[in-house]
Amino acid sequence: MENYNVDTVLKDIFDSKDSNNWKPSDKIPLVTKEIETLKNDLKTFLKSSDYNMDAILKESQELCDETNLLVSGMEMCKQEIEEETMAEILHSIENHDRLTKELESVNFALNIVYDVVQCGKYVKEFDDGREAQSFTRAVEAVYDLLQYIEMPAEGFKQLDMYNNTRHTAQLILDSLLSDLYGEWDRLISTSVKPGNKKTTITITLNIEDSLIVIDVLNALEKSKKLVEKVMEFSQFLLKDVLVPIINNDCIVFAETDELMTITVNQKPDFKPAYDAVIANLRLLFHYLSNKLNVEYYRDNSIMKMMGKQICAEFSDILVKDCLIDTIPNNINELQSYGQITSEIEDFQHFLVIVKFFPDDKISILKYVNNIDILFASKSSQYFLETARTIMLKDLSVTMSIGVETIPEGNPGTSADVSGTEEEALKILNKTMPRSLFYFPRCMISKTAQELLDLVYVMMEQAVQCSDVVCKKLYNTTRLVFELYDAVVPYHHENYLQTIPQYVALFHNNCMYLAHNLQTFGDKWLILMEGRELDYPISFVDLVQKLRDLGYRHLAIHMQQQRKQILDNIRSSDLNCIVVKDVLSDNAEAAVRQCLRQLHLLKNVWIGVFPINVFTRLMATLVNMFVDELIHRVCTVEDISMEMATQLTDMYTLVVQKAPLLFQNTTDVEQYVKSWKKLQELIFVLGGSLKDIEKHWKDGTGPLAVHFNTEELRSLIKALFQNTQFRANLLSKIK
């Protein structure tokens, strides 16, 4: 039966050959027959099976009956619960809600009572602490009380007791803090008495390793006020004690074990030596250590707290205002600087011992790590200050410098050079002027030589130092000459504007410094031989700058002298020849005044300027003076005979006196361009038409050389009357 397939059987029955024409009545017998077959097979199967089907059926019937009985019992229970138990449950719920509300009310009251009891407990603890004279216990009780009432039970805030307790606790705390502050002031007190000449500072420390002191410190710690009070004392110590000791002349003296006196003497522009500062600081910190190293809580002390608060700032101030100044400004002192650093290191170790410095956290020797940079800066500052001091000195203190004549021979050749080198030196000697290597004899200010000596010292020191210092000093050396440009003309401005000797000396100073700067860089490089440099060394660019500085001020003074000469002439009758027949005495006086002015310049400048410079300057002024005299005559349309005679006498005076303004009288003819023209003008003023014609000599004579035709024709018309001879002469001069 397991393999019986209903679908297959039905398919066999209905899928016959005449499947298209069958009727239901034809198939029913076949289906019925198949059902009967199946019934017989089922009976056979049941008979051969191991199960007792009747017993199973009977048992199933009994189970069905029992189930029906249980369903009936459940129905009865349900009915009983709905009628009786639900009523009791509802009643129980009502009782539960009532009990819950009663319990909440009891808990509410219990919490309030508990808070009241706790407040009372803290108040009692405070009273016990006061009776035991323990600030710590009293402060702890008050703080616990204040902290507890910050989070009270519900309803406690509505009680009058809450506000009263809180207010009372705050009053108690304020009173306690007041008492603690009083105790602190008894333990640590300071005073400052300023005066005109000195300021006296006293520090009194009544701190000892006793239960009372420790109790006060612990109480301040519990109330979170100790840090505040220590900070106040630390700031006082730093600003009113430590800083004055570092920067002023001070006397630190321990009057007693409890009393320390610091006397600060007011001395302007005074800087104490580093060893005096360290000695005073040792006395002060030794005194503080004896009193402030009392441990009050977990290895804490006031000294350690002060160190944490101000040691870094104190270290910076000590280094910046004192220890930096110990760095030397020359290489010799730098080499022995180890002794000073050893003393500073001992002092730092002392500060660690007294517990002001934490171990290995603060170092006052950290600046030594940059000793090269600091030394370079200190040296540069020193040299610049020294250079500026030299520049401010009087320029009139002079000295002679230079050579009278350039030596003969070829200094660039020697016996031990090769042929190629000798040939190169010969070409160099031919192409480069020998005067480039020699400075002419003149007078300079001693300050110029002092400044030059200073920069040589800077160079010699730089080449002995590290590359960092060397580069800094090289830049400083250049800066010295730039400073010269800025300081000297400004500081000596009044003298340079009014005193000719100052102008001459300043000009010579600039030329002398520029002359030395031409080869100064080469000298530096020779000393630096073998060292690799990452920057060029040269001072050649400053040469022309210094020369221009001297030229500029000399040119300004020459303009002043020129203006003074022109003003003298233009303020006299020489300025109005055209409207006068006779010149008054002021014309000759003006000429004499100009000659006196030039003679004064000669007396001041000769021997100061190099002779060639003096000659050129004097020639420039004399030439300008002569040009002005010539111009006054050549622009006049009519000159009387009397005026011509006066002009001849005055101009002759110039011809007589002007050569005396030069070191050699013949220099006037060589360097004054208009000198011959003046002489020819005098000849025209005093000569006849016939003499003028001879000097003209058909355009080949001296008059033709020094006068153009228009000038000469104008002179002839102004001096002589209109005659046929004059007309003939004028016709020749074309």
Average pLDDT over residues 2-31: 67
* Residue 62 token pair: 């009994």
131: pLDDT confidence band, cut at 50, 70 and 90? very low
Partnered with residue 54 across adjacent β-strands are none
Selected residue with higher pLDDT from 108 and 291:
291
- In the block, residue with structure tokens 């109330």: 223
pLDDT digit string (tens) for 196-207? 888 888 888 887
> How high is the pLDDT of residue 154?
46
- In angstroms, the Cα distances linking 132 to 51, 142, 163, 171, 224 are 100, 15, 28, 20, 22
Least confident of 218-227, 427-436, 697-706: 427-436
Average pLDDT over residues 217-241: 81
pLDDT digit string (tens) for 66-86? 788 888 878 888 777 776 777
Average pLDDT over residues 554-581: 86
Given a cut of 80, whether residue 607 has pLDDT beyond it is yes
Least confident of 14-28, 309-323, 494-508, 594-608: 14-28
- Which residue from 715, 639, 646, 644 is spatially nearest to 677, judged by alpha carbons? 715
Least confident of 149-153, 456-460, 711-715: 149-153
Round the average pLDDT of the chain to a whole number and report it: 80
> How high is the pLDDT of residue 156?
47
Least confident of 85-99, 136-150, 245-259, 346-360: 136-150
> How high is the pLDDT of residue 155?
43
415: pLDDT confidence band, cut at 50, 70 and 90? very low
In 386-525, DSSP assigns E strands to: 398-401, 442-445
Percentage of residues of the chain with pLDDT beyond 70: 76
Given a cut of 80, whether residue 597 has pLDDT beyond it is yes
* Residue 373 token pair: 């940079």
pLDDT digit string (tens) for 38-54? 778 777 776 776 666 66
- Which residue from 671, 656, 722, 726 is spatially nearest to 696, judged by alpha carbons? 726
575: pLDDT confidence band, cut at 50, 70 and 90? confident
> How high is the pLDDT of residue 161?
55
- Sorted by sequence, the CB contacts under 8 Å of residue 545 that are 6+ apart come out as 481, 485
> For residue 649, how many C-alpha atoms fall within 13 Å in the half-sphere facing its CB?
11
Given a cut of 70, whether residue 554 has pLDDT beyond it is yes
Percentage of residues of the chain with pLDDT beyond 90: 22
Average pLDDT over residues 92-110: 62
Least confident of 420-424, 453-457, 516-520: 420-424
Q: Are 440 and 610 in contact (CB under 8 A)?
A: yes
Q: Which amino acid is at 15?
A: D
